Structure 1
Amino acid sequence: DSEPRSGRPSTSRNENVIEQVRTWVMVDRRITVQELANEIGVRIGSVHSILTEDLGMRVSVKFVAKLLTMEQKQRHLEIAQDMLDNANSNPNFLNTALYSPDMVPCDFWLFPKLKMPLKGTRFESREDIMRNVMTLLITIPKDAFKKCFQQWRKRWEKCVSYQGVYFEGD
């Protein structure tokens, strides 16, 4: 199965074609593998291999990457890598990241925990909101907060693994 095939070498995975795929994807992040194959004139399998193996991108239906510019993606990757490096060398650190809901514990963990029980509730004042939120906060066990930070670390690893791509959901 893993033996090299005899015959002509593949001409669809050369630097020129790889660069064309990269350019098309950067211009239109929503372009499909089929559209890329048609535009560039290579097989769908070749485009898929270029995207996943040569460009390190993920082609998936389950996780849909949020549309980010290359600069945003690079910054996202740098922040996640920095946080992982800092966590590995000093577990008591905390670095401020740019706003990115998949990397902010309040957004991916705390707010949903607070919003669900309060959904549909009418409050008379800000103090009433604060009182209800505080009541909920003190009921969250310490273990749950610890799990949140473990999830946070996994999100940094995922960001680094996927080269800065932003994902919604787990």
Structure 2
Amino acid sequence: MRGDRRLTVRLIANELGMNWDSIWKIITEDLGMRKVCTKMMPKLLNDDQKDRCMQVCQDILEHLETEPDLLRRVITCDESWIFEYDPETKRKSLQWKSLMLPRSKKARQSKSKVKVMLIAFFDVRGIVHTEFLPRARRLTSTPTKRSCSCPEHPTAPGREEHRLMEQPPYSPDLAPCDFFLFPKLKGVIKGTCFEDVEDIKMAVTTELWRIPEESFQECMEAWQRRMGKCVRL
């Protein structure tokens, strides 16, 4: 099994001439193992990219040490596609049933081709700004993509300077929109069939503004913990 971790319990039982229950008990109880799916990543980072992630996290954490109120002044943003219909996940469709009832069935469905690009900005208090772009446009050419903008001390009355804080590349686990905002939003609207693009925009805007302030505060605290974990690892 060490040579091929995809072996099934039945194949191991047949190979060793033992019954299925005994093999299952040895694997799960005696060896404490369980079978899990491979975790899908947007990109497998090379050593240089991992070093860059660590360096970016270290820089931000150093800023947080010297400026204790920095998290309260950070505004982060990102973009994501919102579909007219995005089928619910298999896990979301789980339901209780008695032993006598047959398992419910559902035809495989795919995302609709009708979609709209959402750009969302938020800080520790909540949503700051949202915008929907036409399908042909994206935010990738904008320098604030996946960045955090923090106001510094005003240099003149009524004026504030801002600086950009770089986010680690290819690391959705370290981007507040990716690990918090978009999953929270899409978890609610997933499985909903919208009438048109305007219906999508209205529903998305409503759900975003329903997220309580406490959740945004917890997100920023989690962001700091995740960066610390990245540096430690």
TM-score, scaled relative to structure 1: 0.54
Of 66, 72, 80, which residue of structure 1 is paired with 2:57? 80
Please state how far the C-alpha of 1:127 moved relative to its aligned partner: 1.8
Coordinate RMSD, CA, aligned: 2.5
**Are 1:158 and 2:158 matched, yes or no?**
no
What is the aligned partner in structure 1 of residue 218 from structure 2?
147
What is the aligned partner in structure 2 of residue 103 from structure 1?
174
Distance in 2 between residues matched to 1:69 and 1:112, nearest whole Å = 26
1:47-103 Cα offsets, whole Å, 9 max, x none, are xxxxxxxxxxxxxx99x7x64211011001011111111122221353131342011
Name the aligned partner's letter for residue 73 of structure 1: K
Identity, % of aligned positions: 42
1:92-135 Cα offsets, whole Å, 9 max, x none, are 35313134201111110111111111111112222211111111
Higher strand share: 2
Aligned residues: 102
1:1-170 pair list within 5 angstroms:
67-90=44-67, 91=70, 92=73, 94=148, 95-97=165-167, 98-162=169-233
Q: Gapped runs of 5+ residues in structure 2?
A: 4-33, 75-147, 149-164
Please state how far the C-alpha of 1:160 moved relative to its aligned partner: 0.6
- More RCO (CA 8 Å, sep 6+): 1
Larger radius of gyration: 2
Distance in 2 between residues matched to 1:87 and 1:124, nearest whole Å = 45
Please state how far the C-alpha of 1:151 moved relative to its aligned partner: 0.3
Q: Gapped runs of 5+ residues in structure 1?
A: 1-31, 33-60, 163-170
Higher helix share: 1
- Sort the Cα spacing of 1:113 and 1:79 in 2 relative to 1 into closer, same or farther, 3 A: same
Distance in 1 between residues matched to 2:66 and 2:232, nearest whole Å = 19
Misfit runs of 4+, over 3 Å: none
What is the aligned partner in structure 1 of residue 161 from structure 2?
none
Name the aligned partner's letter for residue 56 of structure 2: I
Specify the SS of the correspondent of 2:166: coil
Specify the SS of the correspondent of 2:219: helix
Distance in 2 between residues matched to 1:140 and 1:116, nearest whole Å = 12
